[in-house]
Structure formats: C-alpha cells, structure tokens
Amino acid sequence: MDIADLITPAAVIPNLRATSKKQALQDLAKKAADLTGLHERAVFDVLLERERLGTTGVGNGIAIPHGKLATLDRLYGLFARLERPINFESIDEHPVDLIFLLLAPESAGADHLKALARVSRLLRDKGVCEKLRGTDSPEALYALLTESPASRAA
C-alpha cells in the first residue's frame, strides 16, 4: 500500500489555521467529512475517542490521529501542514506542525496497521519533513508525500 492509495490532492491542506489540538481535529474532521461523505461529528468523535487513549502526537512535530468508522468502505488519509505549530500533547512535548489523519473501516484490521506504519515511516524521514515544512503549495506537498521512496517502502 502506497501513500497515494490513502490520499488525493484534495486531501492536502497546505496552511491549516488551528490554535489548539481540539480545533485542529475539528477542522480535519470537517475536511474528512467532505472527502468521505461521513458526518463531521462522527469523524470528530472517533478522533477524540482515540486521543483519550493516548496522544497521537508521535514527536518531532508530527501527529498521526486515526480512527475506525463502520460506515467507511476503504482507508482515507488527509494531510495538513499547520500555519503555526500547536500543542498536541506529543510524547516529546514539542508542538506539532505536520498532521496525517488516517480513517479506516471497522473491518480494516491489518490494513489499518499497515497504513499507520507506512505513514509513520514516511514522516520519520527528516528530509521529507523538512521539505514538507518548506512549501505551502498543495501540489508540492502531495508530490512530496506520494513520490518519496519512503512512501513506497515495505
């Protein structure tokens, strides 16, 4: 599974203006609802529920919020580059400026875990993250996310 299987150019937000974790999740839920046809509140609730289990702020300015929804028919990804870093209660206590949201069907099981691993591997690449932080062009962000070798690595 490639990152290109998860996101489309429409699923890239180049300058998300959020001042808090809650606002970022609300804004992402709204965009995800537009992309998936799901109700915004259902997406937000599943993201909030996951955050209550422990932060999805994985460190180095990166968060990977995720959740499962019974009504989804496939995996969906959404990438946002924040205009300004925000407190995401990350494990390293650093603010977050890159967020990759992942939504999966309830039945996704291993595919959900593989997608999380793929996204995590991509965003652990410091070179990719530097480039993502260095552009606010949606086209360039999409290209960086989908064309890097890390987006295809097994």
Active site residues: 66
Give the closest residue to 112 by CA, choosing from 150, 64, 45, 63.
64
Least Cα distance to 62 among 77, 82, 83 occurs for 82
Distance CA 96, CA 90 (A): 8
DSSP per position, 45-113: HHHHHHHHHS--EEETTEE--EEEETT-SS-EEEEEEEEEEE----TT---EEEEEEEEEEGGGTHHHH
Q: At residue 74, what is the residue type?
A: R
What is the spatial distance between Cα 39 and Cα 18, in angstroms, rounded to a whole number?
A: 21
Task: Identify the H or E element spanning 129.
Answer: helix 126-133
